[in-house]
């Protein structure tokens, strides 16, 4: 499930790669992140987002369940077209199980984080 702030180009690339993507901007614009997380849980979808604080707060401060998994992308100095391709390439890795984790993927010198949700 692509959060509302996800780049349209990334959503298009993921769909072209065969991913069944629900894009919040199209399916349920302006809903809360808690609503997105609840729907992702119901539909067994991983949430992909560029929204830094909200999902982490929901999970770690407010105890929301996220067995569906959340992947947070953080970009530094990368043009949007490159961001979209980076997202598509990252999610194409079928060896990675994103479910049940809050995963932060950053470009730049900061290491990635992958912790239980």
Query: 13 in a domain, yes or no?
Result: yes
Condensed to tens digits (0 to 9), the pLDDT of residues 64-113 reads 878 899 999 999 888 999 999 999 999 998 889 999 999 999 986 555 56
On average, the pLDDT of the chain sits at 89
* DSSP secondary structure letter of residue 10: H
Provide the 3-class DSSP secondary structure of residue 16: helix
- Does any domain span residue 2? no
Alpha-carbon distance of 104 to 34, in angstroms, equals 19
If one counts the domains in the chain, the total is 1
Domain that holds residue 95: 8-116
The CB density around residue 36, as the number of other CB atoms within 10 Å, is: 26
Environment class of 87 (CB within 10 Å of its CB; exposed 0-12, middle 13-18, buried 19+) = buried
């Amino acid at each position: 499930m692509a959060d509302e702030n996800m780049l349209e180009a990334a959503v298009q690339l993921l769909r072209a790669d065969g991913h069944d993507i629900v894009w919040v901007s199209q399916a349920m614009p302006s809903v809360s992140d808690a609503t997105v997380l609840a729907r992702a849980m119901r539909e067994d979808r991983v949430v992909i987002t560029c929204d830094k604080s909200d999902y982490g707060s929901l999970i770690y401060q407010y105890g929301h369940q996220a067995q569906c998994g959340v992947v947070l992308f953080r970009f530094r100095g990368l043009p949007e077209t490159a961001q979209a391709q980076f997202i598509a390439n990252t999610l194409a890795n079928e060896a990675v199980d994103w479910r049940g984790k809050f995963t932060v993927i950053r470009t730049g010198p900061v290491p990635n984080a992958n912790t239980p949700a």
